[in-house]
Amino acid sequence: MIKYKTIPEFDKDFKALSKRFKTLPDDFETLKRFILETHYEQDIPTTAFLPIEGCCAQEYTSNKIKKFACKSLKGKGSASGLRVIFVWDKESRAVTFIEIYFKADQENENKKRLKEFLTNHYKTGD
């Protein structure tokens, strides 16, 4: 079973986007069930997310979800423009959500935030 975690910055991003996109909380649960769990629990390949270069190691991978269907963005399907950055920890079978953003507001992920998380988390053993 996958453990899901968030960092405070992700929670702030999610709350702000949830005000704009009312279906986001339900859509996010669907994403966890049908993208992450089918891939990591059932070993079904996916093209919904990609590893982030320079932010992976033997014990974890950092990924960007590019295919995220949001019902509030009608007619877009999985090309909604929402992006989710997460770290998959293989040993603990945990997904930590680092960032969520709307591509129209922000071009790319906040690599500084991601690298700070990786440095703090994997050097302190949290």
Contact 13, 101 (CB under 8 A): yes
pLDDT of residue 67: 93
Q: How many CB atoms lie within 10 A of CB 65?
A: 20
Task: Give how far Cα 4 sits from Cα of 7, 37, 74, 87, 103, Å.
Answer: 11, 11, 28, 10, 24
pLDDT digits (tens, 9 = 90+) for 34-70: 999 999 999 999 999 999 999 999 999 999 999 999 9
Residue 41's nearest CA partner among 75, 79, 96, 3 is 3
What average pLDDT score do residues 113-120 get?
96
What average pLDDT score do residues 23-29 get?
96
What average pLDDT score do residues 7-36 get?
96
The pTM for the full model equals 0.92
